[in-house]
Structure 1
Amino acid sequence: MAEGMARIYRDHIFRLHGLPRKIIHDRRVQFNAKMMKELYKLLHIEGNPSTVYHPQTDGQTERVNQELEQYLRLYVNHHQTDWVDWLVLAEFAYNNCEHLATKLSPFFVNTRMHPLDFTGIGMALSNLSAEEFPKHVKEVHELAQGNLTQANEDMKRFYNRHAGKSVNYEAGQKVFLDGRNIKMIRPMKKMDDKWFGPFEVVKKVGTSAYRLKLPKT
């Protein structure tokens, strides 16, 4: 298992980026195996295993994962069986999107250029399949780019919300309900909707708690 992990890294990461100085990883056996530790030592790589609920170790990775999860939730079907189909476009859209911290895209930081995307597609072709495929990919890419930008903004607002004031809602207003404690029938909670609604506010029942008018379902 560890040797397979090393081969995957060689084939997909090393050939593009070279050797890292540090690898941040979880504590699965393929990362902590004796073979991998010896390989780290041989190549002068620092292995940095993270722990559960310790975002200081790999907080940036966790934030990226949350953005990509938000992106996938917008596209996966109800049974969550097609999420793999969206990963490649998610990767491209994320790497081609300007980040709030750097004001640059990862593509530009890495290569000093932006790759050619689907902005020039528009001509009509006699072959329907040839015309429809890039058109579909272009539409999905534009949606992905917009949604990842929104996800980036949402993540910024989430991490800065402690500095803001609480919002008061009046009866009759509509709000979204946090779904973290609601059990749904979909297979994976991670890929399920995070918010439900909007639902009508019935009345305020605490400092920041409200009774909502919910459907029987």
Structure 2
Amino acid sequence: EMVNEVLRVSGTTHKTASSYHPQTNGLTERFHRTLADMIAVYVQPDHKNWDTLLPFLTFAYNTAVQRTTCYSPFYLVYGRTPTTFLDVSFFSSHGNSCQSSSEEYISRLAQSRHQARINTEARQHKRKITYDESHRVVSFQPGDEVLLLTPIHTPGLWDKFQPRFIGPYNVLEPTSPVNYRVTPLVAPTDRRYRSTEIVHVCRMKPFTRRSPSL
């Protein structure tokens, strides 16, 4: 209740993502990958100074022109390039000749954001075409039995030798064209697994029962 009240007061819309499907939150996951790659370049061999790098790496990321939007995140938020110490030194000796009214500033920022949205939609459309060329539509019906792709990490054991699928689960209902509500056929003893959950179709595969004659 407290969380819901905080969300209401702050005007935040709470949206959940299906488990073990990072594509649901692709923008955030892609940034985490980029940031991790940047940290890996500069971190010390003992990996203990990674937190001291964050201010510099996030500044570099926020001021770099993105391939999708064709603008830097900083520019789309503030409508200008950031002011560095070098800029301050230059303006103090030469004077700031930049004269712009608030109306011009707001208009320029609105145009930039509009163009960034157009650029993003064009890139998304291109990626969708590429994805659809190799995508195979899979659907399930209520009552179908399935297995769920679930990473299992056990200390002392190799992850590659662990079972990749758990189950079987019973499909209860579709919650969207690509998500289903499922429940285990046997009550789980592991508290990590819930009695019902919503999963993405890419984690599901049909469960075939073994013939009694085998």
Larger radius of gyration: 2
Superposed pair shares fold, TM > 0.5: no
- Shorter-chain TM-score bucket reads 0.3 to 0.5
- TM-score under structure 2 length normalisation: 0.38
User: Normalization by structure 1: what TM-score?
Assistant: 0.38
